[in-house]
Amino acid sequence: MKKLMIYFTLMFLALSGVAATEPADGGVNAYYYAAYLDTAEAESRLKSAGFDIVGHYAATAKSETLIITNSALQTAAGKPGRGFGAILRVLVDGEHQRIAVTNPVYFGKAFLQQDYDPVLAEQLTTSLTSALGTMSASEDSFAFDKLEGYHFMIGMPYYEDTYDLAEGDTAALVSKLDTYNGGKNIVFKLSVGEGKTLVGFALSDDTKAFVDTIGQQNAEILPYTILVEEGKAKALAAKYYIAISYPMLTMGEFMRIVNTPGAIEKELSTPFK
């Protein structure tokens, strides 16, 4: 019965123009695009498809990001060091008049690493298609079998090379984020298991301007996330997170935002000082 269900899932995705598994050539797209919906309609459809909306973020002057999750995704991300994979991001892109959504296969493999579950990725993609309609693949792509060990180039960080922002009592670390700047930087807080909290953190206008420089089409990269677990607060290194979110980024384009990674690390660390 399980195999039969998977078969019909794959057939549904194929008819919808969406491939939820590793393509034959090994490349997998980072994003999907769907017809434009306003924020209220997109949110309503996503909720009807079984997603929880945990945060809203003004990505650009004309775009808004919806942070979404469901119980299955939270369970998968509840393992140590996997909390960054607890969410998907949906960009209501007024600039390009479309909806953009993070591909569960691409970011699932990248952020859940060895714990990536292809069946879950298929289920999530089916739910997204149910909510948003026909989706087309973005040109942004990378080799599926290299996502787990992704790094931009020699000497650049991997997934596990996180910013270690602070150590201490887990609840106290979350409290510092809550109270910093009157809580204005908190976009969302999501429990991803006992003693594990994923926090969406709004960067300053100056720091988040890197999106304008390298491409607003992937503006759902923000808000940045901080994972608090086991007495530590950590975040994905910006040289990793930006590069994997912009897989078509060139070295020349990366050099245009050369000061951004340091600025991001400094801002994420400040609440804990």
Q: Does 128 lie in the same domain as 81?
A: yes
Return all residues near 192 (Cβ < 8 A) that are at least 6 apart: 74, 77, 78, 83, 86, 198, 227
1 has a pLDDT exceeding 80: no
Q: Does 118 lie in the same domain as 36?
A: yes
3 has a pLDDT exceeding 90: no
Q: Total domain count for the chain?
A: 2
Q: Does 100 lie in the same domain as 55?
A: yes
pLDDT of residue 25: 54
Among candidate residues 33, 22, 24, 218, the one with its CA nearest the CA of residue 105: 22
Q: Does 52 lie in the same domain as 123?
A: yes
pLDDT of residue 232: 97
Q: Does 215 lie in the same domain as 122?
A: no
255 has a pLDDT exceeding 60: yes
Domain boundary among 141, 173, 206: 141
Domain boundary among 141, 173, 192: 141
pLDDT of residue 241: 98
Q: Does 30 lie in the same domain as 137?
A: yes
Q: What is the mean pLDDT of residues 252-265?
A: 96
Using one digit for the tens of pLDDT, what is the confidence trace for 16-60? Answer: 344 444 444 569 999 999 999 999 999 999 999 999 999 999 999
Question: Is 154 contained in some domain?
Answer: no
Q: Does 167 lie in the same domain as 137?
A: no
pLDDT of residue 145: 95
Question: Is 151 contained in some domain?
Answer: no
Q: Does 224 lie in the same domain as 131?
A: no
Using one digit for the tens of pLDDT, what is the confidence trace for 196-254? Answer: 999 999 999 999 999 999 999 999 999 999 999 999 999 999 999 999 999 999 999 99
Question: Is 219 contained in some domain?
Answer: yes
Domain boundary among 141, 171, 205: 141
Q: Does 99 lie in the same domain as 38?
A: yes
Domain range spanning residue 239?
163-272
Q: Does 253 lie in the same domain as 188?
A: yes
The pTM of this model reads 0.90
pLDDT of residue 269: 98
Q: Does 127 lie in the same domain as 30?
A: yes
**CATH for 167:** 3.30.310.70
pLDDT of residue 5: 38
Using one digit for the tens of pLDDT, what is the confidence trace for 100-159? Answer: 999 999 999 999 999 999 999 999 999 999 999 999 999 999 999 999 999 999 999 999
- List own/partner pairs for 145-153 with CB under 8 A and 24 or more apart: 145/22, 145/26, 147/28, 147/106, 147/109, 147/110, 147/244, 148/109, 148/110, 148/113, 148/114, 148/116, 150/110, 150/240, 150/243, 150/244, 151/240, 151/243, 152/239, 152/240, 152/243, 152/249, 152/254, 153/251
